[in-house]
Structure 1
């Protein structure tokens, strides 16, 4: 309610490609801020909206004013690559943001135990288990994914640099920073 009094306006930003309706999986918060360069957005004003498989579906944006939102709408219409629609403050409030303090391990062997994952992460400053595990449909077989949280963005980025394309139980593992 206080955000409404301050004049904040909220929006959902996503691609304009028909049938897709999501962001590219490598799009960063800074990419959105630079694209909407006339709107005075900061990293804290952007929350990436992921689906259950951690594909970015869009970004929730908090604009400092209605005028800033309208400027963003004009920029997206001119660029024709993205769409921006207004959303309620509740949508913003209920969306949890990992703020670049987590990485997604993709391709972890299904038989890997917690100690195998910890061994893979050796040398990084990850938060202790439990890790979030889930299976995503894949070809030719499902892919196990593990979400690992870190204390800071720097620690998560360092883990990405050090561990991306590494091996866990002889399986290649891709690491992606989750914003």
Structure 2
């Protein structure tokens, strides 16, 4: 009989413990996690590239238009104006209209940093100029004369490339580069020609020796194209 009573008591105790467990809160009934010797993975930081203020500075060439140049502005003037922007004369190209009057220029900056620096420089000492961001395609469309070409203005309408060669006699130039054109002007249209030279020195020498010379009794004005 004692064994039977002990069995009955064990059955009631087991049922009571199960009922008690079912009434416990979920937090206390969770199965404990197994112990692990591996370290927890640290939380991954958010991608900083989504925030433009945390992105690294842009690299690569940046192009801009510079307004405010005059007929007498030189590439060296702009390079000196934008001192500290790491520019050379090859980083500057003039935009000419049909009469070869400079209406502006394009500037190629090594990076966004130099482009931003140029804004600061112009704000301090070049208020006559204005700088605007531009596209690479606009740069590629501009002819880079590089100070190695001359514009001849006022040649007679009857003049031929041979007359231009005689006018430039004694100068080192590229005969195949001679291009002649007529442009409307007031009161009469004018005839012009462009000629390329092997170097800036040769173009400058031709300008010094031939400017205001005569071609078929017509005085010709020369200008170095930048």
Q: Same fold (TM over 0.5)?
A: yes
d(CA) in 1 for partners of 2:67, 2:221: 25
Matches within 5 A, 1:13-24: 13-15=66-68, 23-24=69-70
d(CA) in 1 for partners of 2:81, 2:153: 29
C-alpha contact 2:178 2:193 (8 A) present in aligned 1? yes
Aligned-residue CA RMSD (Å): 1.5
Establish whether residue 140 from structure 1 lines up as the match of residue 193 from structure 2: no
Aligned match of 1:32 in 69, 78, 84? 78
> Which structure shows the bigger proportion of residues in helix conformation?
2
The structure number with the bigger radius of gyration is: 2
Deviation at 1:129, TM superposition (A): 3.4
Q: TM-score, normalised by structure 1?
A: 0.88
Q: TM-score, normalised by structure 2?
A: 0.70
Establish whether residue 51 from structure 1 lines up as the match of residue 97 from structure 2: yes
The corresponding residue for 1:98 is: 145
C-alpha contact 1:101 1:153 (8 A) present in aligned 2? yes
Indicate how the Cα distance of structure 1 residues 130 and 68 shifts in structure 2: closer, same or farther if over 3 A, else same: closer
Deviations 1:11-60 (A, max 9, x none): 11011xxxxxxx21111000111111121210111111112221111111
The gaps in structure 2 that reach 5 residues or longer are 1-57
The gaps in structure 1 that reach 5 residues or longer are 16-22
Aligned match of 1:157 in 189, 192, 204? 204
Between the two structures, name the one with larger relative contact order (CA 8 Å, sep ≥ 6): 1
d(CA) in 2 for partners of 1:130, 1:174: 18
Aligned match of 1:9 in 46, 62, 67? 62
> Which structure shows the bigger proportion of residues in strand conformation?
1
Deviation at 1:6, TM superposition (A): 5.2
Establish whether residue 111 from structure 1 lines up as the match of residue 164 from structure 2: no
d(CA) in 1 for partners of 2:65, 2:187: 34
d(CA) in 1 for partners of 2:94, 2:109: 15
SS, match of residue 170 in structure 2: coil
C-alpha contact 1:77 1:83 (8 A) present in aligned 2? no
The corresponding residue for 2:135 is: 88
d(CA) in 2 for partners of 1:103, 1:77: 34
